[in-house]
Amino acid sequence: MEEMEILKKLEKVKAPPDFEQKVMAELSLRRRSRLRRRLGLQLSLAGAVASLLVGFVLWNFVVIGKRNPLGISPAGREWTDSAAAGPISGSGRTLPIIETLDYSLEVRNRGQAPQAVYLLEQVSDKTPKGVRF
């Protein structure tokens, strides 16, 4: 065990005199950089959430706004688009209301129904495939 006793004789060292100051300076530096990093993280998170929100709102305007909730035929949509963009009355924009009607059914049941005269007005240059005169 003698060599273990001699281990105790190994030179002992002390911390340098400015050790505490250096530790405290390093500590305040690290605290500041941690704070900055945390702030940066929070800001980038907030930015990501905000851009997601803006993206969602834009998508709503562009994609959902273009969708036709009434299911108007392409020919009818062309007409409504031009009408919606075109005539503007004195009080504001005029919105055309289109009521769809299945003429083929009307004509097919002609025999049973009382005599009637149908006046078919063409609303588009293109002939819808579903309508038979």
Partner 1 sequence: MDEQELMRLVKEGDEEAFARIVGAYKDRIVNYLYQFSGDYQKAVELAQETFIRVFFKAGQYRPLAPLSSWIYAIASNLARTEMKKSRRQQIVSLEEVAAHEFASSAYSQDPPSSGLLENLREALRSLHPRYRIPVVLKDLEGFSQDEIAEILKKPVGTIKARISRGRGILRKKLEKATAGSGGGIF
Residues that bind partner 1 (CB under 8 A): 2-4, 6-16, 19-20, 22-24, 26-28, 30
Q: Minimal distance in Å, beta carbon 25 to partner 1? A: 10
Nearer to partner 1, 23 or 70 (CB): 23
Residue pair 84/93 in contact (Cβ under 8 Å)? The answer is yes
Distance, in Å, from the CA atom of 105 to the CA atom of 126, rounded to the nearest integer, reads 21
Distance, in Å, from the CA atom of 40 to the CA atom of 24, rounded to the nearest integer, reads 24
Nearer to partner 1, 16 or 90 (CB): 16
Q: Minimal distance in Å, beta carbon 60 to partner 1? A: 44
Q: Minimal distance in Å, beta carbon 46 to partner 1? A: 25
Nearer to partner 1, 28 or 51 (CB): 28
Bin 99: left if φ > 0, else alpha if -120 < ψ < 50, else beta. beta
Nearer to partner 1, 15 or 119 (CB): 15
Q: Minimal distance in Å, beta carbon 22 to partner 1? A: 6
The letter for the amino acid at 13 is V
Among 110, 79, 117, 115, CA closest to 95: 79
